[in-house]
Amino acid sequence: MKWVTRARPKVDRVACPWLIKRFVDPAAEFLYVPADEVMETAGREGAIPFDVPNAELGHHGAECSFDAVMKKYNLADPALERLAPIVRGADTEAKELTPESRGLEAIAEGFRLAYEDDHELLERELSVYDALYAYCEKQRLSASPAAAPSDASAAPARDSDFKKNWKNIASSLLKVGAAYGQMWGVMQVELQEKQRWVSKERFVEGLSLVNMLPGAPGPQLAIVLGYARGGMWGGLLAGLCLVLPAFFILLALTMAYASLGVTPSGRGALYGVGPVVLGILAVAAYRLGKSTVRSISQIVLALAAASALIWSSLGIAAILLLAGGAGLALFHSKKIGAAVLVLLAALVGILRLAAPLAPARTSACSFSRSGR
C-alpha cells in the first residue's frame, strides 16, 4: 500500500511512517510531495494521505496524526500509548506535555538539517523511534519512570497492573471459559477487539507462539493475554479462570454420560454446535487476517502456509518457523532471512529423516532383549 504526505518531514511525518511500517503495513511505500500536490497524488497513485489538513489521518483538536493512526487501526499497545504523548508534544504547541518531547523535536530538526533527501532521512531516523519504543516499554515495566529499569524495579509496576486489573482479568476469563470454552476466536473478539487488552498484531504473535508449544493452545493464549494485562500473576489468574469452568462442566458431562449414555437428541445437539464453532473461528480468522495480511508478500505467505498444512506433513511448528524465516527475509534483512531459512530448512530436513529411524531402533532393541 502507498501512503503520501508533505515533503520535508520533521516529527509526525517520520513518526507516522514508523508506526505504519511496524504495526499496520510492513510493506508500506511512502511518497513525499509538495503540500499542494498531496491529495492529487493520493488520487492518482491510490495512496492514503496523512498529516495533511482535512485528512482522516491528520491533526484533530489537540491530537496529531500519530494519534489518528493509532485510533484508526486500533493500536492498543501500552508502549505506544506512552510514546504517543511524546510525539504529540514534539509535533504540536504542547511542548511541555512530556519531558522527552522537546528532545524529540530537536532530534527531528537535526535530521531534517542533515539530510536533503526525504526518503534517506526517513530510513535513517526510523531507528530513533525503535529506540523510543523500547524506552517506553521499559518505562511501562518500571515503577519509577526516572529509575533505570531492572528485574527488581519492574516487579512493582507488574504488581500495580495486577492490583488494578485482576477483577477484570478474572471476570473476563471466567466468562469466556464458562460461556464459550477455550476458543481463541472468542478470546480475540472479547479480549482483543472489545476490551483491547493487546493490539491485533500482539494477539497474532501470541497465537503463533502458543501454536508452537506442546499442550492446549487455549489456556496458553489466556496466560499470554493475562500477562499483558496484569504481569505474572495476571497470566496465572487468566489461565486458571479459563480452565476451571471447563473442568467442572466436563466433570458434570462425564458423570451424566456415564449414567445416561449418549442419546439421539444429544448427538443431534452436538451436530448442530459443530458448524457454529467453525463459524466463530472463521469470523475471527477473517478479522485478524484483514488487519494483519495487507501486502502481496503476506498474502503469498498465508497461501503457502495453508497449502503446506493441507498437502504436506510438515506440521504447524515447522511451518511457523519457516514462515518466520521468510518474514525476516521479506521485511527485515534478505541476508539474515536467507541464512535463517537455510538453517531452518536443514533442521527440518534432518528431523524428518531421523524420525523414521527412531521406531526402527526401538523395535531392534526390543527384539534383541527378547532374544536374550
Residue whose grid cell is 518466520: 324
Mean pLDDT throughout 337-352?
A: 79
pLDDT at 159 > cutoff 60: no
Mean pLDDT throughout 215-237?
A: 84
Q: Which pLDDT tens digit goes with each residue over 175-204?
A: 887 766 556 677 877 787 777 777 777 788
pLDDT value, residue 49? 96
Mean pLDDT throughout 116-127?
A: 95
pTM beyond 0.85, yes or no? no
> Of 227 and 161, which is predicted with more confidence?
227
Task: Give residue 58's pLDDT band: very low, low, confident or very high (50, 70, 90).
Answer: very high
pLDDT at 278 > cutoff 50: yes
pLDDT at 371 > cutoff 60: no
Task: Give residue 330's pLDDT band: very low, low, confident or very high (50, 70, 90).
Answer: confident
pLDDT value, residue 334? 79
Per-chain mean pLDDT for the chain:
79
pLDDT at 122 > cutoff 60: yes
pLDDT at 285 > cutoff 80: no
